[in-house]
Structure 1
Amino acid sequence: MHKRLALCSSLSEGLVAGIAAFEVVMASAQAGGEQQPPEWVQLTPRGAVTARDGRSFRFDPERLAAAFAAEGLQLPIDFEHESEFTFTLGAKPARAWIVAVEARAKGLFGRVEWLPDAVAALKAKAYRYISPTFYFGEDGITARLIKAAALVAAPALGMPALASATPQNGATMLKDILIALGLAETASAADAVSAIALLKAGDPAKFVPKAQHDATATALAAAEKKLQDADDAAQAARCSTLVEDAIKGGKIAPAAKDQYLALAKSNFDGTKAAIDAMPVVLKAGADADLDNADPDKGAAGKLSEAEKAMAATLGVTEEAFLAARAA
């Protein structure tokens, strides 16, 4: 059998396909003259192999043969490693079976029972190469177990990365993708592809251009600030009017204006109720401070009777009222 070695790109961690591929040379049958696939085909080389992407692998045919015997399983051969894509392609049948392996000087060889699909494809030259799928060991280099093999048309072009070697993990990944795209869990892979295409194209029915979004957000923020500024100005005017009227009415000394403004801003209704209940302590228009208007207030830091009534109305302690007045 003529051998041709072809190297392919890497797969996901732990599972590799297409690192080496060997041509399946048809042989003439003893009867009828029709070409038939060979009984034995080479699956791996022996020793070190360097992939096109620079990774290095090592094949120990004796170790691989022992692992095959320990498992006691016949290994499937499919087309183009399609069984690794069960979650998107669906279950695919085996096209042949590796029923025995043998360690030889050139590498690991497998005895194959060819099924009709594979025979027809090889006769038609639709596929010409066989490529193994294998797991490598903890060193990340040495192949430890052959998983399957595939008839491939272009082994040197490289294989796409796999998320997992198991269909269950692939199905979970597809489910997560569908949810992220806002699709039902029962949606197909084609539905997911369509949704991704819409995301890339920017469906005008579902998405707003970034420039328009940014302009709208800026305008909204400006409008909200304008409204807040207007509310703040209106509240400040109400508080100022309340305190100014109280000063004019002789209920608050001009020197206490700032303290009463602060109280009004924090609790307008309570401050207004307290001022309304306060007696007149100054003559209208008098320009005297609160210390002179009330002999009980002074260095001792006491409240006047009017201030005590105001503190009670506001629901604060006399100490808190004194602290606010002194601020």
Structure 2
Amino acid sequence: MKTFIAALAIEITKATHGTIQLFPAGEFRAVDGRPTECDHWLMTAEIAQPLIETAALRKTPYVIDYEHQTLHATKNGKPAPAAGFFHTLEWREGEGLFAINVEWTDAAAAMIANGEYRYISPVFNFDESGHVRVILHAALTNTPALDGMDEAMLAATSLLAAASTTEDHTEMDELLERLRWMLNLPITSTAEDIIAELDKLIGQLSDGVGTAAASVNLLQILTDNNTQLAALSAQVDNPDPARFVAVEVMHQAVAEAAASANSNLAALAQKECDDLITAALSDGRLLPAQKTWATSLAKSNPDSLKSFLSKAPKIVALTQSQTGGKPPAGIDNPAGTSLGLDNNEEFDPAICSLMGTDAAEIAKFISEKKA
């Protein structure tokens, strides 16, 4: 939208109170017939609000000079002393926009009090609809319709452009500073460095599609991530007993399982040793008198017992009869292998032969005793 520059003169009525009216409420025009770019200028509470906010954010106050010398200084080379300053704007319904808490210089205050200056003339920017958009400064004047207005407005346009450029640079510098902080970049990073880092971030958020993908709400993503992290932290601090087991309980279960396994292993080892002892007694590797010793060794050191039995020779004579249960040759044994003895009586003719006795005589002796 195209914008224009204008100056307006309003009579000073309350200068001594530090309050001056800059614009009347509603539609207004200058005494010289301006504006020509639109039907009229316009000031309302809605139009005034951004002007009030802008004034409050300014670091430097608006200047009030004499006869708009600020605009003419570049051409006539004369100084442009200030008559006063203002920083705060106030809307008064039905009256207009006022500058309050105006600080006048002693010289300006004296001239106003003496009636030497009667009008205040704000210089402002307005759009095609006549809405006031920017206040540049103001001036004390006695000429409501300024001579050389075209030149003054040209200078005002240059001033507005310079102010806008400075403001744009300030805003851009602040934006770059915030982006460096957000992207964790050094303060020496250029705009190109920041753009490159932003492209990487866009690539991650769009799965490599870039700006061709649908835009994302980064703030919402961060909020969702924080919510998820908070939920996970709560689960860590208060785990669900139906899904998670405490470390102490797990350690206790492992210890009990290990003890049970050790007990089972011990039982299996004992059984294995008992089986080895039984087999060794049967094949002559152990004598009956050695059974107690072997059982004790199996409990204290089963490997030692296994080693001993693996090396012990088998004594065949201790495991079977040399005659296969039959009397030696030349021995009369009418009663068979038992030499006439009952089946439940242990008697081996081979043993009698080893002892140098006559098996028949022993059998006869036993039979006589029974008789």
Bigger CA radius of gyration? 2
Larger RCO, structure (CA 8 Å, separation 6 or more): 1
* TMscore range, shorter length: 0.3 to 0.5
Structure 2-normalised TM-score? 0.36
Query: Which structure has the highest helix share of the two?
Result: 2
